Chains A and B, each alone.
Chain A
Amino acid sequence: MTRFSRERFLSICRGERLGDFGILGNGFHMFWPETLAAWVQNGAPPALADKASGLGNDVSDAVSEFFQFDESRLLWEIHSGMDAGTVMLDFGGSCFQDHSFLVYPPFEPQVLQEDADSLVFLSRSGIKERILKAKSFNMPMWLQHPVKDRASWKEFKKRLDPSTAGRYPADWQQFVAMVNAIECPVAMEIGGFFGYLNMWVGTEELMYLFYDDPALVDDMMETVLQLETRIVERVTKDIRLDFVWYWEDMAYKSGPMISPAMVRKHMLPRYMKLNNLVRAAGCDTFFLDSDGNIDALIPLWLESGINFFWPLECAAGMDPLALRRRYGKDIILSGGLDKREFMRDRASLRNEVCAKVPTLAESGPYFPSPDHLVPMDMPFENFCYYINLLREIRGDEPIDFPL
C-alpha cells in the first residue's frame, strides 16, 4: 500500500487536481478469489490468494502491497452495509463469499442439504442458497429469501435494529482514536434503498411488491433509512468521514430494473434525508456502486447529492467519456475500463487505458479501475502491465513485478 492522503483524495474529488488520480484498492480494484488463485498457480506470490488475509472480495494487505495500491479505509467494523461483516465460508474447499446485507445479528450459517454436485445452505443474511462443489469459488443461486410477506418481514426487521450493540466495535473510544489517526481516505457504507431489499425479498418477488404492496416496500426502505440515520448520527459525532458508500446494484445490461419514476417516488426523498445528514457532518462525497446501465438513474442520483459512480460497466453500454461530456466536473467517475479489452492482448489493453484515463483525469475527478471485479480469465501479466501503465500516466516509477 502506498500513502494517499485524505486531502489529496478530496482535492481530486473536488476537481482541484486535474490530471491526478488515485490507484485505489479496496472497493475500486477488486478481484474474485478464483482470479487470485489462478494467478498464484501461474507464478504470482502465494500470499495473494490467502483467503484469511482478506475479507471476501475486499483487497487483502498482501494484494494491496503487491500492486502498491493507494490506501483507503472502509470502516468494515461498523455493520452499516453489505461488506461489513463479510466472511468467506468454506464448505470443504468450496468457498462462498457471505455478505451480511445489513443484517445484525447474522443468521447462523448452516448446510441444509448436500448432494454429489452441490450444497444448499443458509447464509448469514438468511438466504437459502445453492453452490456448486466443483468450483473453488461460487456465485450462488438464490433459492429462497427471508422476507416473503408482512409476517416474515416483521420477524426479519428485528435484525435491523440500530441499537444492537454488536453493530459497533466493542471499544468505541479505542476505535475512534484508531480511525482518527488514519491518514488515508476513510469511508463508511450507508446502505442503499434497493439493493438490500433485493437481497431480503428476491428480485422477482420485489418487482411484484412494487405493485402488490407498495406500502411494504416503503416500510422496508424507511427501516433502512432509520437504521442508517442512527448509525450516521453516532459515527459522525466522533469520526470524520471522507466519503460514504451506497450499494444498489439496481440495473442490468439495458437499463434500470425499476423506472426512474419509482426511484423518484420511493427512494429519492430518503437519499436526500440521509445525504443532508452526512453533508451536515462535513462529508460531501457520495459513492454509489451499481452494476449495469445506470444512465437513466444518474440525473436522479445527482439530484440527491450522490456524485461518485462505479463500476460503469462497458458491456452494459456505460461510457465514462460520454458521462464526462454530459456532466463535466460535477461527477466523480470510477471504473469504466472495459475488462474484456484487458483479456485480449497488451495492445488492446493499452488502447483502452490510454483512450480513457488521461482524458478522464484531466477533465475532472476520476479513479481508474476495470469495470467490475477482475475475472479469473484476466492474465496476471496483463494486470501487472495495466498497473504500470497507470503509474506511467501518473508519472510514477514502474513496479518491478516478478513475472
Chain B
Amino acid sequence: MVCMDDVRLAVCEGRQDEVVELVRSALRDQVPADSILREGLIPGMQSLGDQFRDGNAFLPEILISARAMRAALAELRPHLAPGSTADQGTVVLGTVAGDLHDIGKSLVGMLLEGNGFKVIDLGVDVSAETFAVTARDQSADIVALSALLTTTTPQFSVVIKTLEETGLRDKVKVLIGGAPVSRALADEVGAEGFAEECVSAVDEAKRLLGGGAS
C-alpha cells in the first residue's frame, strides 16, 4: 500500500516520475482519488509553501514541485468526482493592458493549479473588457491581476471599474500582485486581495474564498 507521506515528500521535492508512479500505484490499490489529493499531493505543495515562506525553498524548488503536482493531477483528475477537494475555485488570471511581463503571473497560475484551483490564464497585455467577459463566461470566483510597472498599475482601477459596470463586481474577488504593488495600493484601488509573491497568492486566494491560508 502506498504511504501518503511518500506522495507528500515526492511532490515537495519535485520528483515528478516518482510521484506519478506513486499515484498510479495508489489508484491500483483502490485508494480514493480524493484521499490521494487531500492526504498526499496538497500537503506536499503546502509543505513546500511553508519552506518557501521560511526562506528554505526558492524558485527552482517551487517550479519542479509544481511540475510534479501538475503531472500527478493529470493522472488523478479522471478519477476525481465533481466537487472534490480539487475544486477550490476558478481564477481568471492575467497581466494588465500595456504590460508584457509574464513570469510572475505564470508562476502564480502554476501554484494555483497545483493547489486545486481552475486557472484561466489570459496571458499578458489583457484588456479590462477581456478580464470582465472571461470572468462572466467562466463564472470566475477571483480575477487575479498582475502588473510590473508603476505606469501600468493604474490598470487595476480600470479593470475594477469595468467589473462594476458589467455587474460582476459583487460576484468576483479581485487579487493583485507585482513588483510595485503593496497592500496599501490594493486598499486604494479597492482590490480585496494582495499577494507579495507567488506562494502567498495561493494563501490569499484561499482566504478570499473563505478557506483561509493553509
Contacts and interface: CB of A to CB of B under 8 A. Distances in A.
B27 interface: no
B102 A141 contact: yes
Contacts of A204: 63, 103, 106
Contacts of A316: 179
B179 A132 contact: no
Given A141-B100, A208-B63, A211-B60, A253 B14 contact: no
Contacts of B189: none
Q: Which residue, B98, B124, B180, B197, has most C-beta atoms of chain A within 10 A?
A: B180
A19 interface: no
B203 interface: no
Interface of B: 14, 55, 57-61, 63-64, 67, 98, 100-104, 106, 124-125, 148-151, 179-180, 182, 196-197
13 contacts: A139-B101, A204-B63, A208-B67, A252-B104, A252-B197, A257-B58, A258-B59, A262-B58, A296-B55, A316-B179, A340-B150, A375-B150, A375-B151
Nearest to B182: A315
Contacts of B59: 203, 207, 257-258
Given A139-B149, A316-B179, A340-B150, A254 B60 contact: no
A130 interface: yes
A210 interface: yes
A377 interface: yes
A: interface residue count bin: 35 or more
Nearest to A206: B60
Interface of A: 117-118, 130-132, 134-135, 138-141, 203-204, 207-208, 210-211, 252-259, 262, 296, 315-316, 339-340, 343, 375-377
Contacts of B150: 339-340, 343, 375, 377
Given A135-B98, A141-B124, A375-B150, A210 B55 contact: no
Given A253-B179, A296-B55, A375-B151, A262 B100 contact: no
Q: Which residue, A117, A130, A203, has most C-beta atoms of chain B within 10 A?
A: A203
A33 to B, nearest CB: 13
A203 B179 contact: no
B60 A208 contact: yes
Q: Which residue, B60, B67, B151, has most C-beta atoms of chain A within 10 A?
A: B60
B114 to A, nearest CB: 14
A112 B106 CA distance: 24
Nearest to B99: A139
Given A140-B100, A208-B64, A377-B151, A254 B196 contact: yes
7 closest A-B pairs by beta carbon, nearest first, are: A141-B100, A207-B60, A254-B197, A210-B60, A259-B58, A207-B63, A257-B59
Contacts of B179: 252-253, 315-316
Q: Which residue, B58, B61, B98, B103, has most C-beta atoms of chain A within 10 A?
A: B58
